[in-house]
Amino acid sequence: MMAAIPMWLIAAGTATSQSTVTNNQVQAGDIFASQTLDVVTNSSDTTAVTTATGNGLTGSVVTGSVDIQSTQSTAGQVGATTTINIANDAGPSLTSTTAATGNTGDAGIDGGGAMTGSFVQSATGGPIYGENQINGANAETTDAAQATQAMANSQGFGATGSSVNTTVRQTSSVDTTADGGAILGYVGDQGSFSAAAVANNVTSVGVSGSTQTLDVTQSNTGALVRGAQFTNLGNSQDTNTSATATANNFNATNEGGDFTVGVNQSNDAYVRAQGEETSYEFGGATVSAYGVGNSTFAGNSGTSITLNNTQVNGTGGVESVASFTGDNGYDAFVSSTAMGNAATGYACSTCGGVMNVHNSQTNNGDAAAVVNTSITTGARSVRGTATAVGNNASFYVTQPNP
């Protein structure tokens, strides 16, 4: 679901040294970032970026090995808010990005060395929220891109021709919400509108013969994880509205060496994803909502993968709602997915890949997926898909993509 951290490490070297990092960060107060942008007519591009972060850590080595011991805790609210008001013309490109994060860390290694370490992140106290609103009922633009994100805890790893052996412990007891809204009169070409909320997030990418051993524990005891995107358009060409809500997310891939993963996820929150779009006249409209309590994705395009996965989703329930309403247009695709627990693992068939998987999933709550589609005059193609699953697991050995 979430994008893997960029592989910014490009230099190669010989592992000849050992680096150590000890990081202890405590954010006790509130963190707020907000902006309001008023536009009448703009002949150039309109761009707004708003970010709020409680604690951030970035560490990388291109020669030698590194051991990182990191502890991050956020006890206050973290909020990022953006409002754009457009009277007539936003210009050829309209971009609005808003992100609120309690604790975040990125760690990378290149050159054949080893990364070891322990990463502890906790979010308590106030909510983590991102709010992003575009107001332009009579306004036009050629391309529009709106993205709203909220994460309580996030940790990423990257390795190129190296090894990673780390433990991650993430706990969140706060509400995590991402709310996006857009009102525009005319989108001439492409429009992308998204909102994503994640309480605990871990990503890792290993390439060029890397090996990884990851031990991850994620616990969310907050009351709510919500990702909601509402898009209202007068006339649009090609648009995509999406909403994602995930209590605990783990996403890791590897290329080459052995890949050993242990994941333990528990969620007590109510998880809600809601994506809605209206467009009076439309060329192509895609609306999706994806809500999941616990999600694990682990794949190795290499020799072997060992995956021990335990997921427990509580009684709060998971609900996903996707809706589209249009008067006259061509193609509309609306999909909604709700899952208590989801797990996917794979190995490479052309590499002699072997899987060793132990999977345990328990869902104690409801899962509901809803799709609403209404076309007044007619359309060339209309498709709707609603999928609700308590526990879903998929493990396979396959040929990697060329």
pLDDT tens, per residue, the chain with 402 residues? 444 434 333 333 344 589 999 999 999 999 999 999 999 988 889 999 999 999 999 999 998 999 999 999 999 999 999 999 999 999 999 999 999 999 999 999 998 999 999 999 999 988 999 999 999 999 999 999 999 999 999 999 999 999 999 999 999 999 999 999 999 999 999 999 999 999 999 999 999 999 999 999 999 999 999 999 999 999 999 999 999 999 999 999 999 889 999 999 999 999 999 999 999 999 999 999 999 999 999 999 988 999 999 999 999 999 999 999 999 999 999 999 999 999 999 998 778 778 999 999 999 999 999 999 999 887 789 999 999 999 999 999 876 654
| C-alpha torsion sign, points 60, 100, 80, 240 | positive
Helix (H) or strand (E) holding 62: none
Q: What pTM, to 2 d.p., does this model score?
A: 0.94
Whole-Å CA distances, 264 to 69, 254, 358: 20, 20, 12
Report the distance separating Cα 256 and Cα 183, nearest Å.
47
